[in-house]
Structure 1
């Protein structure tokens, strides 16, 4: 193996793979009104375009260990990228309500496969650089959402919404090719044979799951319903997409800051509480003054969400004493967390359909920020999950 080639190719593969884990979801929000008009989807049905992939991420992530045993890291991640590629391509080739819902399922499975396996790969290959590369990975995920959320309305205006959805097969193909090149350089490290720690018995594991789920729920909620909220207030699809772009740009900045700084912090709680405070202020801006405070609210929400996503994963993996344990904890936390996160956009769709108003959802998320702050306070550093089983 060429060390210099490995030194740039593995991070590059993480970057390109991560970029492909959100476009199929993020591109929907700014185009949702047009999609509903052309396909006849109701608000609740439209919310399934976000809820289904997010819920499937959770369900499959709960079986991350079994998936790894059957497929292995290299082939499992490659197969996930293939599913994403095919799903995006089908949306561009056969547009319609049925296709949108079916590809929400297949794309969600592909995303889940990658997200179930990638944290353990990073932990195994990166060693002491794990936190930094996890920050790069999560920032890449948010970067993919930024690009697709902003570009979607302009692509739809130029070539129609089917092409705006289908073009994301191209970066998926690029990510697959890069992963194929990097996977051959990855050193296969055998996992230790040992009894699996029963994570469901640990109160700390459930707190980590709830924390990740609520933070990710804020992300999926904003991703799915912030653009329709503003188009309902009279904004254009391009303007609403730009606002979502501001959210995701702030997420990328916060994610980069976490990746550069987090290795220096032994206690993650000050960073967690700062991120929660930014998200809380953003939600209050959207609830109290959505027109006057749209841009500050978007930026604050993005900063909070962007920091919380990598931090919640890093904090969860901190509780593992070995790569195997860290991967198992990440799978458990993400699995249940994504199932929890899927409920928020579904609830928002139900409220919009029955109340014609999304403002109560921002108030609910503000309240959940207080719950997250309470959880963050008890997440003391350097406490392996086996020690915390009764806590």
Structure 2
């Protein structure tokens, strides 16, 4: 029963790590029309939170040492609860961007802590990481899929659509309450932290991977509109992108934990993204292209989360490596949506932004060739 309870905590906390970002894309055109936001200004709704996710990943290390993983996660869920709920009362672009910024703070703190939580409570069951990664993908898929239905349910209110997801942050916070009394006992050990021997490769891999993910999350609907899709079809395309990632997160994590050879699976996922991007560039079957990009993203992200846990000996090492990788990876990767917004404004065409995404994908594949197997780390 306790195992089920702990898995439910991992599921709900992970579920909250993406809706604040992915709920925006399908209703972005309505937000821009009402708040008079340019494409560059709208880019900050993704760029700023992703940047903050990077900066505050390092805060997670300090918090886990002083407060414990459980209390730190509880604080992160409270931050997400308040910032997401505040969007219902937003009436300016500045206020909306501020909520995005603080959402990034909460997500940045929570991300590495969940990896530490898994290593602490399930030290020998690395496939539990699939609950973390798949829950995150489900949250992303649900937020983008239901953005338009919630918009209509709220009488064409994008505020209702964005703030609805505060409910799940509240549920996660309530679920963590029974563990808070154990927070002092479960503080991370202050044993010397061992730096991952290939942390620089992991940082740039994570940067390229998350840059592609957030560029597609933020701008796929806009790209679809430029290809003469209706707003509803564009929303469905974005939903397809996130929905495809759910089974991939489960399958790839299981394949790597069972058969190792993670570099092979990473390359296959990155190649799938590459083919999908080429199809989009040549405007050949955007639906098939989106499925291929989603397959790639669905495998790359869970494996990025798995690597620090797979290579760590202790919960603190898992938290530290995850925090460093996510810190600099998110900060560098956050520039992707901003560059795409600039290219859209400067060229008024979808080809040049997509060529930039393709260039990042090629760089990603080159970095993957440098990622070592666990037995090669020494």
Gaps (5+ residues) in structure 2? none
> Is 1:178 paired with 2:170?
no
Give the match for residue 129 of structure 2: 134
Give the match for residue 138 of structure 2: 143
TM-score by length of 2: 0.94
Kept in 2, the 8 Å contact 1:321–1:384? The answer is: no
Kept in 1, the 8 Å contact 2:273–2:295? The answer is: yes
Alignment partner for residue 354 of structure 2, among 350, 362, 367? 362
Give the match for residue 232 of structure 2: 238
CA displacement at 1:157 relative to structure 2: 2.6
User: CA-to-partner distance for each residue in 1:352-378, whole Å, 9 max, x for gaps?
Assistant: 111112322222222222222222223
Give the match for residue 167 of structure 1: 164
Kept in 1, the 8 Å contact 2:56–2:108? The answer is: yes
Alignment partner for residue 105 of structure 1, among 85, 101, 123? 101
CA displacement at 1:68 relative to structure 2: 1.7
User: CA-to-partner distance for each residue in 1:275-295, whole Å, 9 max, x for gaps?
Assistant: 111111111111111xx4111
CA displacement at 1:245 relative to structure 2: 0.8
CA displacement at 1:190 relative to structure 2: 5.7
Cα distance in 2, alignment partners of residues 316 and 150 from structure 1 = 30
Give the match for residue 68 of structure 2: 72
* Superposed counterparts of 1:16-31, under 5 Å: 16-31=12-27
Kept in 1, the 8 Å contact 2:222–2:234? The answer is: yes
Change (3 A) 1:362 1:183: farther
3-state secondary structure, aligned to 1:128: coil
3-state secondary structure, aligned to 2:313: coil
The count of corresponding residues between Structure 1 and Structure 2 is 376
* Superposed counterparts of 1:305-384, under 5 Å: 305-383=297-375
Change (3 A) 1:164 1:270: same
Deviates more, 1:298-307 or 1:322-331: 322-331
> Is 1:91 paired with 2:83?
no
Cα distance in 2, alignment partners of residues 263 and 185 from structure 1 = 30
CA displacement at 1:47 relative to structure 2: 0.3
CA displacement at 1:231 relative to structure 2: 1.9
Cα distance in 2, alignment partners of residues 83 and 190 from structure 1 = 21
Change (3 A) 1:301 1:69: same
Kept in 1, the 8 Å contact 2:83–2:102? The answer is: yes
Kept in 2, the 8 Å contact 1:220–1:344? The answer is: yes
TM-score by length of 1: 0.91
Change (3 A) 1:8 1:198: closer
User: CA-to-partner distance for each residue in 1:256-307, whole Å, 9 max, x for gaps?
Assistant: 1123333202221111111111111111111111xx4111111111110010
Alignment partner for residue 155 of structure 1, among 145, 150, 153? 150
Give the match for residue 242 of structure 2: 248
Cα distance in 2, alignment partners of residues 139 and 93 from structure 1 = 31
Cα RMSD after superposing both structures: 2.0
Gaps (5+ residues) in structure 1? none
Give the match for residue 117 of structure 2: 121
* Superposed counterparts of 1:173-212, under 5 Å: 173-181=170-178, 188-189=185-186, 191-197=188-194, 204-212=198-206
Cα distance in 2, alignment partners of residues 168 and 21 from structure 1 = 11
Change (3 A) 1:64 1:135: same
